[in-house]
Structure 1
Amino acid sequence: MAENKVMLAVIVGAVLGACSPAEQNLAEFADLIFIGDNIITMDNTNVSAVAIRGDRIIATGNEMEILPLQSSTTRLIELGDRALLPGFIDAHGHFGAVATYSALLDLSSPPVGTIMSIDDIVVAIQNWISDNNIPDGQLIYGFGYDDSLLLEQRHPNRDDLDRASTSHPIVIRHVSGHLNAANSMALSQSQITAETQVPQGGVMRRRPGSEEPIGVMEETAMALLPGSGGVISEEQGWQLRREAADIYASYGITTIQESNVSPGYVSALKSHAQDESFPVDIVTFIMGNPLSDIELAQVSQDVEYTGGVRIGGVKFILDGSPQGRTAWMSQPYDEGPPGVDADYVAYPSYDPDVYRTRVSALLERRVPVLAHANGDEAIEHMIDGIADAVEGESIPDHRSVIIHAQLIRSDQLDRVKELGIIPSYYSVHPFFWGDWHRRSFGDERASFISPVRATINRNIPFTIHNDSPIVPPDMMRLISITVNRQTRSGYILGPGQRATVMEALYAVTQGAAFQYFEEDEKGSITPGKRADLVILETNPLTVDPARLADVEIKETFARGVSVYQGNIN
């Protein structure tokens, strides 16, 4: 190999030396060239060299074909044992929340954090108050606690959080993002009492045998409590977003999703992006649930990015989460939340009839729709809404997306294929909550969580995601869990639903680009496409699948520019 490179250098030097200065116009050369044996293009081509000029891939091929594009200013990267892939695409997540949460109290359990019990939560809050010299009366906001992993196997309540402080309002968010817990001061300041009216689509948990709030709020009832906006200033929030873009880039991500946002927020995001472009792309989705019909009618899809930001469509939330046991099911939970009846199936968080009407109006205007639906009953309504919208005409290329689709059934997958719907699976669930789901739903339903293999067998386009900040935007761990499906206890949850490494890579490259209507621009290392690339420490196709999660990101390129450099060793 070394001799070949020396010979190529001689040949290239001779070719360039024979050219006149006019023929050596630097505009014709590459800014960046990669050479190596582990280039995974994702477009079914085998190449050993890639050339980049500006923000575009200009050529792929072998070294003999590509090295003549090298000039004195070209950066040449010899990959060696490292692998080059298209930049990873975040199919679903919450960019702004990743930014905000990075400055808040993290109450996550391993492997993300260290919390193992409610006592740990109490101590962590006390330490946070002390370490940050937080004055009495100022809101304490934490996130990431997981009742399924706590020693007590329950949510912390107002009494637990009162042990942390009675002079600070305290609100902590469940790892799912679908429940909050608050102390007595937070409840009092929010004027939450036994008589408080709970919004439709929410639940306020109460003390057994009483109407008194216990401090735990589900779904829309969370809005009764203060949010994290009272903790972080606007200026700090925008700085945190800049830092969050770097966090995503460190995981090899070159396109991010920012979901559940308002039109006003997107306008502000674009304004900041015009002042200083974000290093990676951000696709935003307007939260449809709270908007009026008039407001929704003003939302449209952006074709072009503004400083790295565009509107991708509208998102609706139809139910809760399986890890929070609020996913809306057609059949009862095997084990539901404390105190519920044996026939508990959870509940919708949004009126299905309103959803159907609004989806029809949006798809008629060709505005893409995402719908959060975890339980099979919520998924049924999501699918019905799309079916109604396209009834009586040839099915348009709408690419509506079921976000999460955790408990989708086989018969629903058949309808998904027929209607051209894309499932985006929250496929880290088997590891993070697989053991919990076996208790909640029984082995048969739990084993069909994120049924990637059944989806592939039907030739249905699909994607996978982390739903960050619920879990960090770690794409290699996401790929690993999709391939291995091993729970925390070591159990293989639904071995028949495992993906190959290449199939998992498809879901975070070509599949995700297709979901965003960007398959002509992103998702593969193909001449003419955007130079969004990631270098991994080794080839994920040949590494031991058990080690996939440990494969390091070495460098990330967005629009042809290096936006993250990891450990060079």
Structure 2
Amino acid sequence: MKNGLINFLAVVSMAIAGCSSPSGTEGESNMADAIYFGGDILTMEGDTASYTEAMAVRDGKIIFLGEMSKAMEMKGDSTEMKDLGGKTLLPGFLDAHSHYINSLSIANQLNLYPPPAGPGKDVETIIEQLKRFKSENNIPDGELIQAYGYDDSVMPEGRLLNRDDLDRALPNNPVLVNHVSMHGGVLNSLAMENWGISAKTETAPGGVIVRKPGTNEPYGLIMETAFLPIFGALPSPNESQEIEWTIAAQKMYAANGITTAHDGATHLKDIRVISRVTKADKNIIDVIVYPFITELDSILAEFPVSSWGSYSNKLKIGGVKVTIDGSPQGRTAAFTTRYLKGGPAGEKDWLGKLTFPQKFINDFVKKVYDLDVPLNLHANGDGAIDAFLRAHETVAAGDLTKDRHITLIHGQFARKDQLPKFVEYKITPSFYTLHTYYFADAHIENRGLEQASYISPMRDAIDAGLKPTNHTDFVVAPLDQMFMLWSAVNRVSRSGEVIGAGQRISPYEALQAMTINVARQYQEEDAKGSLAVGKRADLVILDKNPLKVAPDSIKDILILETLKEGKTIFQRTE
């Protein structure tokens, strides 16, 4: 009723302006820049699907939703008439969690995802691909070669990539093959020398350094806190590359219908890069960054908290990221029950590890709460989620239910008994349903079928009254919003098995988890996430309506066009 009144007043206002001003002058400037019609215009307003016949946009914002005849009253000489031709228009997708900064360098790295997303099916193929990559790109000796997407959980017969493999293949280049979890990587000898890692290097608390059997020599795989110094020292684009790399990265997001991107765990050097590009006014999408807790003091010295929480040239510092465990597929997530296959370095009775001791977690959470900024909290295993709940109950003992804008990133192995506390403590879970496809088989081996079937419990979360979001965690999984949508609806694994049929959600609920629910996660629901008068014209056009195709066909829907504030930033040309 409220939107109807606003629409009516908008129409009256436009009509009066048009009648009282000469054509082509002030009256023309009050007409719509574009009118969309002729297809399914899905507003994402409310908990059931709602459509409108036409939508009018002016100055990057939506000014009308309703009947075509009334929209035509806003048509001026310069108004573009956008006939959808039976296609589907909906609000632009909002990235609930990815690692945006890493996308800047992806174009210069080798894709080693396992099929179907990449060629990394086994060690032999990985080695062949690395050698080809060096040759085809004319990479000189001595230059770092990076790859991404290595998934040890799908390597045939448990034959894993190691330091010796990389040394034999590329003896004259430092090599880092990043683990698919982004919580570690496999290094060769030259890379270890570069970062000062040797048999004398002690494993940091909360870290993993896999040793060569029978020796103390690092065997290549380094994870979690042991990997953080390496991750923090990875090369960034130089100032002449920053804009070029940024535009390429943002076009990648736009090609997936994304109009707002997320960077989780942003380091100071990365914020500097993003800030310089922003000052040059080169962003084509909105970018939200979350400074990593270990560098928070340094970041605050350059970017005071008074500047956070609002956009400047499409950049916003959204809050703080705290990571308290690893990845379940890497067997570094923290659980209350043991892994069936042991730890990544052969540990027995392995529960995983918290990244930091409980006291540190408490201190980190208190620091963020005291700053009064949103908290993004990475926790995968149920043990890590318990650790955060303990921290919250300790730090916020006087007011446990205040809305502190907490987002639990991943939360994949949340137990059902933890969900009521999410509701009570106003914690938004941002789930990761792509794991039901990419990593389900590994989770079944590591955790058992029952627990694996409950990963990312979207159905129970929604039924409990939560508004969960969904994410790709790119570059951990490919940036593919339609495949992510498909995974939430179908929950089918690589091997074709349904993983937790009881946690499937409807296509509309899955769309909410990548539009309006994400807007709420960012406290931006007044501007984004649905089509309503006054909101930004951040839009995506699909070739088919996800609500009107067979569930298994959702992954095949094409993104035809993406618009940011009414301007096209991606258009499919095929």
1:261: which partner in 2? 266
The letter for the 2-side match of 1:384 is R
Question: What is the CA-CA distance between 1:507 and the residue it aligns to?
Answer: 0.6
Cα 1:23/1:272, change in 2 over 3 Å: closer
Matched residue SS, 1:25: helix
Cα distance per residue 1:19-55 (max 9 Å; x no partner): 8538971121100111134111011443110000011
| Counterparts of 2:19 and 2:403, CA distance in 1 | 52
What is the deviation of 1:521? 0.7
Once residues 351 and 306 of structure 1 are traced to their aligned partners in structure 2, the CA distance between those partners, rounded to angstroms, is 37
* CA distance in structure 1 between the partners assigned to 2:40 and 2:94 by the alignment: 20
Q: Once the 2 structures are TM-superposed, how far is the Cα of residue 384 of structure 1 from its aligned partner?
A: 2.3
Alignment of 1:78-227 (within 5 A): 78-223=83-228, 225=230
SS of equivalent to 2:57: strand
Q: Residues 294 and 492 from structure 1, CA distance in 2 versus in 1: closer, same or farther, beyond 3 angstroms?
A: closer
Q: Deviation per CA, 1:272-323, whole angstroms, max 9, x where unpaired?
A: 2122241110011001134459959954562321110010000011111011
Q: Which of 236-245 and 249-258 deviates more?
A: 236-245
- AA aligned to 1:31 is D
The question of whether the paired residues in 1 share the 8 Å contact of 2:150 and 2:178 is answered with: yes
Any conservation in 1 of the 2:100–2:474 contact (CA below 8 Å)?
yes
Give the gaps of 5 or more residues in structure 1: 1-11
* Change over 3 Å in CA distance of 1:234–1:122 after alignment to 2: farther
In 2, the alpha carbon distance for the partners of 1:115 and 1:361 equals 41
> Partners in 1 of 2:417 and 2:400 — Cα distance?
22
Identity of aligned residues (%): 36
Contact 1:300/1:367 (8 A) holds in 2:
no
State which of 21, 26, 29 in structure 1 corresponds to 2:28: 26
Q: Bigger CA drift: 369-378 or 144-153?
A: 144-153
Query: By how many angstroms is 1:152 displaced?
Result: 4.3
CA-to-partner distance for each residue in 1:80-125, whole Å, 9 max, x for gaps?
A: 3211101100000111101212211221211211121111111111
Contact 1:452–1:499 (CA<8 Å) still a contact in 2?
yes
Q: For residue 470 of structure 1, report the CA deviation from its aligned partner.
A: 1.4
Residue 370 in structure 1 maps to residue 376 in structure 2: yes
CA distance in 1, matches of 2:399, 2:192: 51
Counterpart Cα distance in 1 of 2:18 and 2:526:
33
Alpha-carbon distance between aligned partners in 2 of 1:495 and 1:168, rounded to the nearest angstrom? 47
The unaligned stretches of length 5 or more in structure 2 are 1-13
Residue 143 of structure 1: SS of its match in structure 2? strand
2:35 maps to a residue whose letter is I
- The residue type paired with residue 464 of structure 1 is N
CA contact (8 A) 2:192 2:198 kept: yes
Of 185-194 and 478-487, deviating more is: 185-194
How far residue 490 of structure 1 moved from its aligned partner, in angstroms, is 0.5
- Paired residues of 2:101 and 2:270 also in contact (CA < 8 A): no
Equivalent of 1:453 in 441, 459, 465: 459
- Provide the rounded CA distance (Å) in 2 between the counterparts of 1:232 and 1:430: 34
Equivalences for residues 348-497 of structure 1 within 5 A: 348-393=354-399, 395-497=401-503
**Relative to structure 2, which stretch is displaced further, 298-307 or 208-217?**
298-307
Deviations 1:395-420 (A, max 9, x none): 32212011011111011111111100
2:126 partner amino acid:
I
Residues 191 and 275 of structure 1: CA distance in aligned 2, closer, same or farther (over 3 Å): closer
CA contact (8 A) 1:534 1:556 kept: yes
Match of residue 9 from structure 2? none
The one-letter code matched in structure 2 to 1:199 is A
Distance 2:287 2:230 in 1: 29
Taking a change above 3 Å as real, the CA distance of residues 294 and 253 of structure 1, as seen in their structure-2 partners, is closer
Provide the C-alpha distance between the structure 1 equivalents of 2:232 and 2:361, rounded to a whole number of angstroms: 26
* Counterpart contact for 1:139–1:231, Cα < 8 Å: no
Q: Which SS does the other structure have where 1:103 is aligned?
A: coil
Alpha carbons of 1:118 and 1:52: their partners in 2 closer, same or farther (altered >3 Å)?
Answer: same
2:347 & 2:477 partners in 1: Cα distance?
31
Match of 1:251 among 227, 247, 256: 256
Return 481-490 or 68-77, whichever deviates more. Answer: 68-77
Name the residue aligned to 1:6: none
- The TM-score with structure 1 as length reference comes to 0.92
The residue that corresponds to 2:315 in the other structure is 309
Q: May I ask how many residue pairs the two structures share in their alignment?
A: 556
Superposed displacement of residue 228, structure 1: 7.8
Aligned-pair distance for 1:64?
A: 1.2
Superposition pairs for residues 287-366 of structure 1, below 5 Å?
Answer: 287-292=292-297, 295=300, 298-299=304-305, 302-337=308-343, 340-366=346-372
Contact (CA 8 Å) 1:192, 1:224: kept in 2 or not?
Answer: no
1:141 touches 1:231 (CA, 8 Å); kept in 2?
no
Paired residue for 2:247, among 223, 242, 246? Answer: 242
- For normalisation by structure 2, the TM-score amounts to 0.92
Q: Deviations over 1:154-203 (max 9, x none)?
A: 43111111121212221111111112111122223433222112222211
> Contact conserved, 1:407 with 1:448, CA < 8 A, in 2?
yes
